[in-house]
């Protein structure tokens, strides 16, 4: 059984949002077309409390996109984004969400960021997604959404580590791209065992 995993298609990651991914909204029609063809659709939602430790504003003297050392390792600092209950945290209004069966919220612990749909950035704290997928007898994931170089990448790599077959739909993901991080993300995902696929191949 296969599932479509839609990562973080939220206002703050789309043009005009607090942490906008260039052209992030352009993938939405592709995702909507794909989601019609899947029996299981799962979404993730970045969902941070105010003052989250991944926000540059929580660290004096730090600017967005600088990095700091956290107890669990290196962490990029971000503009405040996807604050719980804010409009920026809402799914983009053009995203078709009615067929979604599960929403995995992540990043809700103040002290740990969480890029992946499976594990927080300490690579130990689970979101519970593996258990859900196993109980629903899902063995194959098709990953789409934002951002290629952060939440998509980590979800894909963790999904493979958890034993799932993972396809990444190349024209249904977009990245932030900090110093070549999108190309690097593709290399890491493919090295980990992900497969690249086009929406055209899936829809035909
Ligand atoms: C994301 C940075 C911070 C993402 C979330 O969805 O890729 N990136 N929080
Ligand atoms: Zn975030």
| 40-74 pLDDT tens trace | 999 999 999 999 999 999 999 999 999 999 999 99
Contact 76, 42 (CB under 8 A): no
Q: Decide whether any atom of ligand 1 lies within 6 Å of the 20 Cβ.
A: no
Distance of alpha carbon 114 from alpha carbon 21, whole angstroms: 18
Give the model's pLDDT for residue 68. Answer: 97
- Angle 45-51-56 (CA atoms, 0-180°, nearest 5)? 90
The interface pTM score, or ipTM, of the predicted complex is 0.98
CB count within 10 Å of CB 20 equals: 19
182 membership: H or E segment, kind and range: helix 181-192
pLDDT class for 4, splitting at 50, 70, 90? very high
- CA of 115 relative to ligand 1 center, distance in Å: 6
Residue 35's Cβ-side half-sphere holds a number of Cα atoms within 13 Å equal to 22
The catalytic site residues sit at 8, 106, 151
Distance of alpha carbon 20 from alpha carbon 13, whole angstroms: 4
Give the distance between the most distant pair of CA atoms in the chain. 52
pTM above 0.80, yes or no: yes
Give the model's pLDDT for residue 14. Answer: 98
| 26-41 pLDDT tens trace | 999 999 999 999 999 9
Handedness of CA 19, 75, 44, 83 (dihedral sign): negative
CA distances from 119 to 36, 116, 158 (A): 28, 5, 7
pLDDT class for 16, splitting at 50, 70, 90? very high
User: Which atom of ligand 1 lies nearest, measured to the CA of 151?
Assistant: 7
For residue 148, whether the previous peptide bond is cis, meaning omega lies within 30 degrees of 0, is: no
Mean pLDDT of 150-174: 98
Q: Decide whether any atom of ligand 1 lies within 6 Å of the 120 Cβ.
A: no
Tell which residue, 10, 6, 12, has the closest CA to residue 78. 12
Q: Decide whether any atom of ligand 1 lies within 6 Å of the 78 Cβ.
A: yes
| 74-133 pLDDT tens trace | 999 999 999 999 999 999 999 999 999 999 999 999 999 999 999 999 999 999 999 999
pLDDT class for 144, splitting at 50, 70, 90? very high
Give the model's pLDDT for residue 189. Answer: 98
């Amino acid at each position: 059984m296969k599932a479509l995993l839609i990562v973080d298609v939220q206002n703050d990651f789309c043009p005009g949002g607090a942490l906008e991914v260039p052209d992030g909204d352009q993938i939405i029609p592709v995702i909507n077309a794909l989601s019609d063809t899947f029996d299981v659709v799962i979404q993730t939602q970045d969902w941070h409390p105010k003052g989250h430790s991944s926000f540059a504003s929580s660290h004096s003297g730090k600017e967005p996109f600088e990095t700091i050392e956290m107890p669990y390792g290196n962490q990029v600092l971000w503009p405040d984004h996807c604050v719980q209950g804010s409009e920026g945290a809402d799914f983009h209004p053009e995203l078709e969400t009615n067929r979604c069966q599960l929403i995995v919220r992540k990043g809700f612990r103040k002290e740990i960021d969480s890029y992946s749909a499976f594990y927080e950035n300490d690579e130990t704290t689970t979101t519970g997604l593996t258990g859900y997928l196993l109980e629903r007898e899902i063995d194959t994931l098709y990953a789409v959404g934002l951002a290629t170089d952060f939440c998509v990448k980590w979800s894909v790599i963790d999904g493979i580590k958890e034993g799932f077959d993972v396809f990444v739909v190349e024209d249904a993901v977009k990245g932030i791209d900090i110093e070549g991080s999108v190309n690097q993300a593709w290399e890491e995902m493919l090295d980990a065992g992900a497969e690249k696929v086009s929406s055209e191949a899936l829809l035909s």
